[in-house]
Every structure is written in structure tokens, then in C-alpha cells.
């Protein structure tokens, strides 16, 4: 094979794979914290949008439009580069001299968590609305409060129905952590870029990178299908 003899997969593996393995740690960290943030934010937005108070609904709706109308990559860059500048500028106007900076991973987690939280809030809201109103009423007439009924009776039922779609968001989020490379998070893509530019083993490096994502996302999506199946059969 002429092609293979010109490529150096073994050499690339030797140098790149240990780096990718430490990159896995970053990806997992970003995904876990990003997803937790997204779930909490998604719940807060979903419940807020079901509120009887119009101003709360209005503000949340505007926020959703803002986030859904701009790309995740732009949001990440904005949080990492622009927000600190704005804060410093603002402090300067007030007469303080500051040098606020956001650690790149923190910025990445916040950005991805907010973005996913907004999309997930719609799924969560729809699932809460899809629970039969009779469930809330049954809880209320037993003397439970409005929030007890929501959190203990309605939301547990709602969550059962959305575990599959939350799972899909999780898999998407793992892949989207590659965008964090643009805010200097040393995850898989950034490591691969650096490696390729130093060694010129471009084909080998990016092939390994693609494989690395597959190694995470394929088992993860099967795990989610399995959980979904278990939930259905129970």
C-alpha cells in the first residue's frame, strides 16, 4: 500500500494519544459541569416561563431569543474575551482599576451551559406541560402546595419522558466541546491543532481526533438508548 507507507500513524499515535487522553479529562469535565449548569438553568427557565408573572415570562423569552439567535461559538468568544473587557471598562468608569479575566475552561463551561440550558428549557417546559393537569389537581386536593405538586409529582413524571432527548443533548454537548478550542481550552481539537502544526502529521492527527470523538459518542449514545429502553420496559 503506497498510501499507508507515506503516512505515519504509529509515530503520530505515540505522541498524540497521550495528549488526547489528557484532553479526554478536559472534555469530560466541561461536559459534566456544562450539562449540570444546562439542566439547572433549563429548569429555572422552564419553570419561570410557566410563571403567572408576565414580566418574568417576558424577560426569559427575550433571553431565549438572544441565545438562540446567536451561534454558540460567538457566545463563547463573547464570554471569554468581551465580558472581562466590559467589566474592566465599567469598573474603570466607576474609578476602579481592575483586571478581570475568566479562566478559559470556566468561560467554556458557562457558555456551553447557558446555550444548552436555553434549548433544553424548551424541552423541559413542553414535558411539564404534557403531564396531565389532573396530576397537579390530585396533589393540590390532598393539601400539597403548588410547588410541592410541581416538584414532587409533576416534574418527576415530566423527566421520565425527556430522558431520551436530554441524552441526545448530552451527546451533542460532548461534540460541541470542540468549540472550546477557540477560547483556548486545551481540549482535543486544540491539542490536535498544535500537534499537527508542529509535526505536519496532519492527516494522521485529525484522523485520530475524529476517532477520539467516536470513541466517546458512540458508546454514550448506546448507553442512552439502553436507558431509554429500560425506562420504556419498566
Q: Are the C-beta atoms of residues 124 and 42 closer than 8 Å to each other?
A: yes
Shorter beta-carbon distance to another protein: residue 69 or 134: 134
C-alpha distances out from residue 184 to 40, 208, 211, 213, Å: 26, 20, 22, 19
For residues 177 and 183, what is the distance between their CA atoms, to the nearest angstrom? 11
Shorter beta-carbon distance to another protein: residue 146 or 222: 146
The DSSP secondary structure of 54-65, one letter per residue, reads: HHHHHHHHHHHH
Minimal distance, residue 143 CB to another protein, in Å: 4
Minimal distance, residue 110 CB to another protein, in Å: 34
Minimal distance, residue 226 CB to another protein, in Å: 20
Q: Are the C-beta atoms of residues 116 and 35 closer than 8 Å to each other?
A: yes
3-state secondary structure of 116: helix
| Residue ranges that bind another protein, judged by CB under 8 A | 132, 134-135, 137-145, 148, 152-153, 156-157, 160
> With the C-alpha atoms ordered 13, 112, 68, 77, is the resulting torsion angle positive or negative?
negative
Minimal distance, residue 138 CB to another protein, in Å: 4
Shorter beta-carbon distance to another protein: residue 152 or 175: 152
Amino acid at each position: 500500500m503506497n498510501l499507508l507507507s507515506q503516512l505515519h500513524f504509529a509515530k503520530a499515535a505515540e505522541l498524540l494519544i497521550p495528549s488526547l487522553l489528557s484532553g479526554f479529562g478536559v472534555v469530560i469535565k466541561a461536559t459534566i459541569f456544562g450539562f449540570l449548569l444546562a439542566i439547572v438553568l433549563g429548569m429555572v427557565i422552564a419553570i419561570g416561563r410557566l410563571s403567572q408573572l408576565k414580566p418574568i415570562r417576558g424577560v426569559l423569552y427575550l433571553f431565549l431569543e438572544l441565545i438562540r439567535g446567536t451561534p454558540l461559538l460567538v457566545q463563547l468568544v463573547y464570554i471569554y474575551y468581551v465580558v472581562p473587557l466590559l467589566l474592566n471598562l465599567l469598573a474603570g468608569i466607576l474609578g476602579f482599576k481592575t483586571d478581570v479575566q475568566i479562566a478559559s475552561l470556566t468561560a467554556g463551561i458557562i457558555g456551553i451551559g447557558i446555550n444548552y440550558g436555553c434549548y433544553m428549557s424548551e424541552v423541559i417546559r413542553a414535558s411539564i406541560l404534557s403531564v396531565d393537569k389532573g396530576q397537579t389537581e390530585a396533589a393540590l386536593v390532598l393539601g400539597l402546595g403548588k410547588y410541592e405538586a410541581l416538584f414532587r409529582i409533576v416534574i418527576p413524571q415530566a423527566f421520565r419522558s425527556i430522558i431520551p432527548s436530554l441524552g441526545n443533548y448530552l451527546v451533542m454537548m460532548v461534540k460541541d466541546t470542540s468549540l472550546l478550542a477557540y477560547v483556548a481550552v486545551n481540549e482535543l481539537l486544540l491539542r490536535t491543532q498544535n500537534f499537527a502544526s508542529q509535526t505536519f502529521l496532519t492527516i494522521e492527527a485529525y484522523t485520530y481526533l475524529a476517532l477520539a470523538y467516536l470513541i466517546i459518542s458512540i458508546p454514550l449514545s448506546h448507553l442512552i438508548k439502553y436507558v431509554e429502553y429500560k425506562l420504556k420496559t419498566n
